[in-house]
Amino acid sequence: MEVKDSVAIVTGGASGLGEACVRNLVNRGAKVSILDFAEEKGQMVSSELGADVIFCMTDITDERNVQAAIDKTVESFGAIHIAVNCAGVGIPGKVLGKEGPMSMDHFNKVVQINLIGTMNVVRLAAEQMVKNQGNDDDEKGVMINTASVAAFDGQIGQAAYSASKAGIVGMTLPIAREFAEYGIRLMTIAPGIFNTPILAGLPENVKDALNKMIPFPKRLGKPDEFAGLVQHIIENPMLNGEVIRLDGALRMATK
């Protein structure tokens, strides 16, 4: 699918990996709708990038919220061809900690946002994409979800996070197979450690330690590198139903 003249929605597009995707797509001629809960930052990015970007205040776990954002995007730009799911949380917590068992509220919150929120966007965006005119391959849409290396190498304290991201990995192939008849591709990226705002406040010695964990290149990933892979997936029609680790050969230790 061509990025130029396409319409994309990007969840978590107000910062980090999502923001990098928004900027990449806009720079290549796409119109983009940012779906995010961070209203101030989302409005700021939207205003900076101009008329080709709108912001939709969105709780991805809420069906009506997501549907309203999709409707606003179609009303503004006419269609949706691309959906990039970057929204998520990484709240740590041990199953059995010093204060007792993990609360189910904690587990439910992480799974609700990361896994169920992603599925919510996928199913509602697909309903809109099937209305598109197909290209020469009869391709009508592309979806890219964000998992994590924690889906494969979860550390102590990441039970909820790993479960939520493993769910995203697990639904990649079955959804891609289901959507094939509609001309919609679905891929997942499992990033390693990236230099996002979440890590920006860490002390330099901690960042250095993180850098040394990565075999090569020995540094944190750059959000632009994630966005570059998203762009390539969009443009390469043979990429479908697969999970790509983007991690510099990182394999996480126990803790």
What sections of the chain are H helices per DSSP?
A: 16-27, 39-49, 63-77, 104-111, 117-129, 150-153, 159-179, 197-200, 204-213, 223-235
* Residue 198, pLDDT score: 74
* Residue 236, pLDDT score: 98
* Residue 76, pLDDT score: 98
CA dist 63 and 117 (Å) reads 9
Whether 201 maps to a domain, the answer reads no
Closest CA relative to residue 36, chosen from 21, 61, 56, 22: 56
Q: Determine the structural domain holding residue 17 and report its residue range.
A: 7-195+222-245
Q: What is the mean pLDDT of residues 131-141?
A: 97
Whether 204 maps to a domain, the answer reads no
* Per-residue model confidence as pLDDT tens digits over 37-84: 999 999 999 999 999 999 999 999 999 999 999 999 999 999 999 999
Whether 79 maps to a domain, the answer reads yes
Whether 210 maps to a domain, the answer reads no
CA dist 75 and 107 (Å) reads 36
Q: Choose, from 55, 77, 107, 161, the residue flagged as catalytic.
A: 161
Q: How confident is the model at residue 1 (pLDDT cuts 50, 70, 90)?
A: very high
Whether 250 maps to a domain, the answer reads no
Give the CATH number for residue 138.
Answer: 3.40.50.720
The answer to whether 156 and 209 have CB atoms below 8 angstroms apart is no
Q: Which residues contact 102 (CB under 8 A, 6 or more apart)?
A: 93, 94, 95, 96, 159, 160
63-77 and 117-129 helices cross at what angle (nearest 10)? Answer: 40
pLDDT at 150 over 90: yes
CA dist 169 and 244 (Å) reads 10
* Per-residue model confidence as pLDDT tens digits over 197-252: 877 777 888 888 888 899 999 999 999 999 999 999 999 999 999 999 999 999 99
* Residue 9, pLDDT score: 99
Please, how many CA atoms are within 13 Å of residue 190, restricted to the half-sphere of its CB? 25
* Per-residue model confidence as pLDDT tens digits over 85-110: 999 999 999 999 999 999 999 999 99
* Residue 197, pLDDT score: 82
Three-class DSSP category at 98: coil
Task: Mark whether 182 is an active-site residue.
Answer: no
* Residue 199, pLDDT score: 78
* Per-residue model confidence as pLDDT tens digits over 160-180: 999 999 999 999 999 999 999
- Radius of gyration, alpha carbons of the chain: 18
Whether 76 maps to a domain, the answer reads yes
Element (H, E) at 191: strand 184-191
Closest CA relative to residue 226, chosen from 23, 9, 80, 71: 23
Partners of 194 in the β-ladder: 221
The answer to whether 10 and 86 have CB atoms below 8 angstroms apart is yes
pTM: 0.96
What the block records as the tokens of 155 is 């550390």
* Per-residue model confidence as pLDDT tens digits over 9-18: 999 999 999 9
Whether 59 maps to a domain, the answer reads yes
Whether 213 maps to a domain, the answer reads no
pLDDT at 134 over 80: yes
* Per-residue model confidence as pLDDT tens digits over 17-36: 999 999 999 999 999 999 99
* Residue 209, pLDDT score: 84
Number of structural domains the chain divides into: 1
The answer to whether 252 and 149 have CB atoms below 8 angstroms apart is yes
Q: Which residues contact 2 (CB under 8 A, 6 or more apart)?
A: 135, 235
Angle at 16 between CA 10 and CA 19, to 5 degrees: 40
